[in-house]
Amino acid sequence: MKIGFIGVGNMARAIIDGLLAGGKVSGSDLYLHSGHIENYGAYAEKIGAHVLNDNAAVVASSDIVVLAIKPKIYARVLDVLKPAFADHKVVLASIVSGVSLDDLAEHLPTGQPIVRLLPNLNVAIGEGMTAYAVNDSAEDCAQDVLGLFDAIGQTMELGEDDFATFVALAGSAPAFAYLFIDAMARAGVKHGISKKDAVRIAAQTVAGSAQMVLQSPTSPNDLIDQVCSPNGSTIRGYLTMEDKGFSSAVVAGLDATIARENGEK
């Protein structure tokens, strides 16, 4: 399967790196074009991808085209590419934030199959979380796109009205998880463990806890109860964190992220 990328920024590279690491594609299956060759030429050469002269050549060469550009230029780019999509029937997989299926369709030929996706950066290590929505024209061919993203993490179909919330929970939240890991590690440093060791301990604990949640039939709250023994150190730490506003701070941070994603200033 030939996969084209229009835009080769951080998220596009994360997707590519995950697909390559998982053996889902090889470099020779990839066709790339972006505005500044100096920003991605060395990367393309390293992975053995084809660098094409323009976006229309990417469309003509691919079975799936991943649109990975900034939202402010999507309309201009697609308007130029409309004839190319008309000439070559190819699925468009858009990862452009904030641009709906209807928005995309306005600048493409009638009947163009479109899959809208919101991956997070963890796709680079095969542990991504990706939301998706498809238009009517893509119902019979979306699986080719979804198969790629299933290979680099998990996928979930969502209504587009829920995409802003998904961005907060999956797209932005890795930064919040890093913040939590760093805070735990700093506590370890405070009490005498090296920062390197403390980060390793905290990160592995969070990774294992996440897997426990995913694999357990019980809720996170039930798992908390299993760790908190009566009058123990864990319940004391838990209640102290709650007293300092831990859960409220997390919800407030996600609320702020969702509000910004919805266009609030």
Q: How confident is the model at residue 265 (pLDDT cuts 50, 70, 90)?
A: confident
CATH of domain 166-261: 1.10.3730.10
- For residue 228, the SS3 value is coil
Res 112: pLDDT: 97
In sequence order, which residues have a C-beta less than 8 Å from that of residue 168 and are 6 or more positions away?
Answer: 254, 257, 258, 261
**Diameter of the chain by CA atoms?**
70
Q: Which residues of 171-180 are buried (b: 16+ CB within 10 A; e: fewer)?
A: bbbeebeeee
pTM over 0.85: yes
Contact 5, 68 (CB under 8 A): yes
pLDDT digits (tens, 9 = 90+) for 80-96: 999 999 999 999 999 99
pLDDT in tens, 228-242: 999 999 999 999 999
pLDDT at 120 over 80: yes
* CA distances for 240 relative to 1, 26, 149, 225, angstroms: 53, 50, 40, 16
Q: Check residue 14 and give its pLDDT.
A: 97
Give the whole-angstrom CA distance, residue 212 versus residue 38. Answer: 43
pLDDT of 33 reads 97
Q: What is the pLDDT of residue 145?
A: 96
Query: pLDDT band for position 264 (50/70/90)?
Result: confident
Average pLDDT, the chain: 96
Domain boundaries, the chain: 3-158, 166-261
CATH code assigned to 3-158: 3.40.50.720
Looking at the predicted structure, is the pLDDT value of residue 262 above 90?
no
Query: Residue 47: which pLDDT band, with cuts at 50, 70 and 90?
Result: very high
What does the pLDDT look like over 136-183, one tens digit per residue?
999 889 999 999 999 999 999 999 999 999 999 999 999 999 999 999
Under the banding of pLDDT at 50, 70 and 90, the label for residue 263 is: confident
